[in-house]
């Protein structure tokens, strides 16, 4: 039996009898279904089920138990009326072809992925998430049978699991050590939140398509709080120099490209010679994660760098290629970055995306405002830019602290601030 939400003005007779006569009062049950209570001019209360969003279908359920004991046939309590309303909902959706059979999570996931492939990006990433974390646990479960408790426990187990490790084809899945530090635990909870988001999206689509009776079970599951902001890491100038000195030539070009443009790895990998505009002093970043392209102005050193990389190439050639002449592919940057960090003794090891943070931090520390940095990075708005880099932009605080008389320069002694 599906659980019915309480409605304090309707779910007990004392409260109902205080309501005005001949007015309708509604309690939402979910999915476009509502229960209506009305007392006529003689004070007799009745229950009516209503379903729909723009065009409504209604059905009279029966008399309310205002003055008679409920029998579940002609006189109903609020909760009995709600169950009758759900029966009406099921009949309505079946007649409309909205519900043909109980829906499993696996079937709902299949429908969601088919929709996602046509309407969104990153299909491969979402598909991997579904197949690795959701279907093995919930694939055979009926959506209408899911409970809040089991979804919460699944989310907690995700946060405790170690990270999956890249493995060769046909080899068994390998894992890194379980999370130990506070940062590792935060990162696992953040990952669990992202997986929960995908799972909820699958279930919500089924619910809004009329293929699930209620969304209460998963709506009550809340993600881990305050775990999505990692400490932003960026390289110091001497670390940049070390990294460039030890990198292989093809990977060194990729690193310099990131530091001159702030582009993501995927954006650099698909950049073509025609995207470099030497006459205007720009390089064009093709639409990527944000869905919008952007023009990045280059300093003179960056202009010289891109001119050397594009010399002798046609407009359709890739700017950055591996030493074998092939395009940089998905995840091809991970191993060279790890090896370069090891040789440069950069600890902890950074990933390629932190070169983008380094680009932004260099701008911020030189007094560039957040709006400009946001545009250069291709952020949709300044909120995410502010979250990561606002503390670096605030030179006013730094200048104010620098003026404080912490020491007496003549006597070289610490003195009190008055």
Counted domains in the chain: 3
Whether the pLDDT of residue 248 is over 90: the answer is: yes
Q: Give the span between the Cα atoms of 179 and 199, in whole angstroms.
A: 23
Which of 73, 95, 117 marks a domain boundary? 95
- pLDDT tier at 51 (50, 70, 90 boundaries)? confident
Residue 340 in any domain: the answer is: yes
If asked whether residues 279 and 331 sit together in one domain, one would say yes
- pLDDT at residue 269, as a whole number: 94
Please tell me the least confidently modeled range out of 126-130, 208-212, 225-229, 241-245. 225-229
Nearest to 147, CA basis, from 218, 224, 222:
218
Whether the pLDDT of residue 192 is over 60: the answer is: yes
Whether the pLDDT of residue 234 is over 90: the answer is: no
- pLDDT at residue 260, as a whole number: 95
How far is CA 82 from its chain centroid?
A: 35
φ/ψ of 117, rounded to 5, equals: -60, -30
Q: Give the span between the Cα atoms of 414 and 401, in whole angstroms.
A: 16
If asked whether residues 24 and 78 sit together in one domain, one would say yes
Q: Give the span between the Cα atoms of 209 and 31, in whole angstroms.
A: 9
**Burial class of 54 by CB neighbour count within 10 A (0 to 12, 13 to 18, 19+):** exposed
C-alpha torsion sign, points 286, 349, 253, 387? positive
If asked whether residues 77 and 149 sit together in one domain, one would say no
Residue 412 in any domain: the answer is: no
The CATH number of the domain holding residue 89 is: 3.30.160
**Burial class of 280 by CB neighbour count within 10 A (0 to 12, 13 to 18, 19+):** exposed
More confident: 413 or 117: 117
Residue 413 in any domain: the answer is: no
If asked whether residues 241 and 374 sit together in one domain, one would say yes
What SS3 state is found at 247? Answer: coil
What SS3 state is found at 360? Answer: helix
| Those residues with Cβ within 8 angstroms of residue 245's Cβ, 6 or more apart along the chain or in another chain | 344
If asked whether residues 28 and 120 sit together in one domain, one would say no
Residue 174 in any domain: the answer is: yes
Cβ atoms of 247 and 322 within 8 Å: the answer is no
Q: Give the span between the Cα atoms of 44 and 51, in whole angstroms.
A: 23
Q: Please spell the DSSP secondary structure of 329-350, one letter per residue.
A: -TTTTHHHHHHHHHHHT-SSPP
Tokens of 108: 């709902």
Q: Give the span between the Cα atoms of 20 and 11, in whole angstroms.
A: 16
Q: Give the span between the Cα atoms of 206 and 65, in whole angstroms.
A: 35
Segment 75-92, tens digit of pLDDT: 999 999 999 998 888 777
If asked whether residues 61 and 209 sit together in one domain, one would say no
If asked whether residues 248 and 330 sit together in one domain, one would say yes
Q: Are strands 57-64 and 75-76 parallel, antiparallel or unpaired?
A: parallel
Q: What mean pLDDT is predicted for residues 181-201?
A: 92
If asked whether residues 143 and 254 sit together in one domain, one would say no
- pLDDT tier at 358 (50, 70, 90 boundaries)? very high
Q: What percent of the chain lies above the pLDDT cut of 90?
A: 54
If asked whether residues 142 and 215 sit together in one domain, one would say yes
Residue 315 in any domain: the answer is: yes
Q: Supply the range of the domain harboring residue 180.
A: 105-219
More confident: 280 or 122: 280
Residue 355 in any domain: the answer is: yes
Whether the pLDDT of residue 396 is over 60: the answer is: no
- pLDDT at residue 404, as a whole number: 62
Please tell me the least confidently modeled range out of 7-16, 36-45, 199-208, 254-263. 7-16
Which of 162, 188, 219 marks a domain boundary? 219
Q: What mean pLDDT is predicted for residues 110-125?
A: 90
Whether the pLDDT of residue 402 is over 70: the answer is: no
Whether the pLDDT of residue 170 is over 70: the answer is: no
If asked whether residues 85 and 128 sit together in one domain, one would say no
- pLDDT tier at 291 (50, 70, 90 boundaries)? low
| Those residues with Cβ within 8 angstroms of residue 30's Cβ, 6 or more apart along the chain or in another chain | 5, 213, 214, 215, 216
Q: What percent of the chain lies above the pLDDT cut of 70?
A: 85
- pLDDT tier at 232 (50, 70, 90 boundaries)? confident
Q: What mean pLDDT is predicted for residues 63-80?
A: 93
Segment 299-319, tens digit of pLDDT: 999 999 999 999 999 999 999
pTM over 0.85? The answer is no
Whether the pLDDT of residue 94 is over 80: the answer is: no
Which of 95, 115, 150 marks a domain boundary? 95
If asked whether residues 128 and 54 sit together in one domain, one would say no
Question: Mean pLDDT highest for which of 30-34, 147-151, 366-370?
Answer: 147-151
Nearest to 347, CA basis, from 254, 262, 227, 242:
242
Residue 407 in any domain: the answer is: no
What SS3 state is found at 46? Answer: strand
Segment 9-25, tens digit of pLDDT: 788 888 898 899 999 99
- pLDDT at residue 366, as a whole number: 83
**Burial class of 113 by CB neighbour count within 10 A (0 to 12, 13 to 18, 19+):** middle
Whether the pLDDT of residue 178 is over 90: the answer is: no
φ/ψ of 268, rounded to 5, equals: -70, -40
Whether the pLDDT of residue 100 is over 60: the answer is: no
Whether the pLDDT of residue 185 is over 50: the answer is: yes
Conformation bin of residue 296: beta by default, left when phi > 0, alpha when psi is -120 to 50: beta
Q: Give the span between the Cα atoms of 323 and 205, in whole angstroms.
A: 45
Q: Give the HSE-up count for residue 148: Cα atoms under 13 Å, Cβ half-sphere.
A: 11
Q: Please spell the DSSP secondary structure of 162-220, one letter per residue.
A: PPEE---TTSPPEEPPPP-SHHHHHHHHHHHHHHHHHHHHHHHHHHHTT-SS-SHHHHT
Cβ atoms of 300 and 203 within 8 Å: the answer is no
Q: What mean pLDDT is predicted for residues 48-73?
A: 88
The 3-state secondary structure of 381-392, one letter per residue: CHHHHHHHHHHH
Conformation bin of residue 7: beta by default, left when phi > 0, alpha when psi is -120 to 50: beta
DSSP bridge partners of 164:
175
Whether the pLDDT of residue 184 is over 90: the answer is: no
Cβ atoms of 105 and 143 within 8 Å: the answer is yes
- pLDDT tier at 5 (50, 70, 90 boundaries)? low
Q: What mean pLDDT is predicted for residues 279-300?
A: 86
Residue 282 in any domain: the answer is: yes
- pLDDT at residue 417, as a whole number: 39
Nearest to 93, CA basis, from 44, 170, 31:
31
The CATH number of the domain holding residue 209 is: 1.10.150
Length of the chain (residues): 418
Whether the pLDDT of residue 221 is over 60: the answer is: yes
If asked whether residues 58 and 31 sit together in one domain, one would say yes
Cβ atoms of 408 and 415 within 8 Å: the answer is yes
Q: What is the CA radius of gyration of the chain?
A: 30
Write down the mean pLDDT value for the chain: 85
Whether the pLDDT of residue 2 is over 50: the answer is: no
């Amino acid at each position: 039996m599906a659980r019915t939400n309480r409605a304090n003005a309707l779910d007990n007779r004392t409260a109902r009898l205080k309501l005005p006569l001949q007015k309708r009062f509604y309690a939402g049950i979910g999915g476009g279904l509502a229960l209506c209570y009305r007392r006529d001019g003689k004070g007799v209360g009745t229950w009516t089920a209503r379903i729909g969003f723009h065009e409504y279908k209604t059905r009279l359920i029966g008399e309310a138990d205002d003055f008679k004991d409920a029998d579940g046939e002609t006189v109903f309590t609020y909760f009995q009326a709600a169950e009758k309303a759900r029966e009406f909902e099921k009949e309505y959706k079946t007649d409309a072809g909205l519900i043909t059979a109980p829906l499993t999570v696996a079937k709902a996931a299949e429908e969601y992925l088919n929709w996602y492939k046509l309407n969104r990006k990153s299909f491969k990433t979402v598909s991997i998430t579904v197949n690795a974390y959701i279907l093995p646990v919930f694939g055979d479960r009926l959506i209408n049978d899911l409970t809040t408790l089991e979804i919460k426990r699944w989310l907690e187990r995700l946060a405790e699991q170690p990270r999956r490790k890249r493995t060769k084809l046909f080899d068994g899945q390998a894992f890194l050590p379980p999370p130990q530090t506070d940062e590792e635990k935060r990162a696992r909870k953040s990952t669990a939140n992202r997986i929960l988001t995908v799972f909820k999206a699958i279930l919500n689509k089924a619910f809004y398509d009329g293929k699930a009776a209620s969304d209460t079970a998963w709506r009550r599951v809340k993600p881990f709080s305050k775990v999505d902001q990692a400490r932003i890491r960026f390289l110091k100038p001497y670390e940049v120099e070390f990294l460039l000195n030890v990198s292989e030539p093809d990977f060194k070009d990729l690193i310099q490209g990131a530091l001159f443009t702030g582009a993501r790895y995927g954006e650099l990998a698909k950049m073509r010679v025609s995207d470099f505009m030497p006459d205007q002093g720009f390089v064009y970043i093709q639409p990527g994660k944000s869905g919008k392209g952007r023009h990045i102005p280059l300093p003179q050193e960056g202009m010289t760098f891109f001119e050397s990389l594009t010399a002798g190439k046609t407009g359709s050639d890739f700017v950055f290629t591996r030493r074998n002449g092939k395009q940089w592919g998905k995840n091809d940057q991970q191993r060279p970055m790890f090896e370069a960090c090891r040789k440069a003794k950069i600890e902890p090891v950074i990933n390629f995306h932190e070169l983008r943070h380094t680009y932004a931090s260099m701008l911020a520390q030189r007094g560039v405002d957040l709006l400009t940095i946001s545009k250069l990075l291709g952020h949709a708005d300044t909120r995410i830019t502010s979250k990561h880099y606002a503390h670096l932009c605030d030179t006013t605080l730094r200048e104010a602290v620098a003026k404080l008389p912490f020491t007496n320069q003549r006597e070289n002694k610490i003195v009190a601030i008055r």
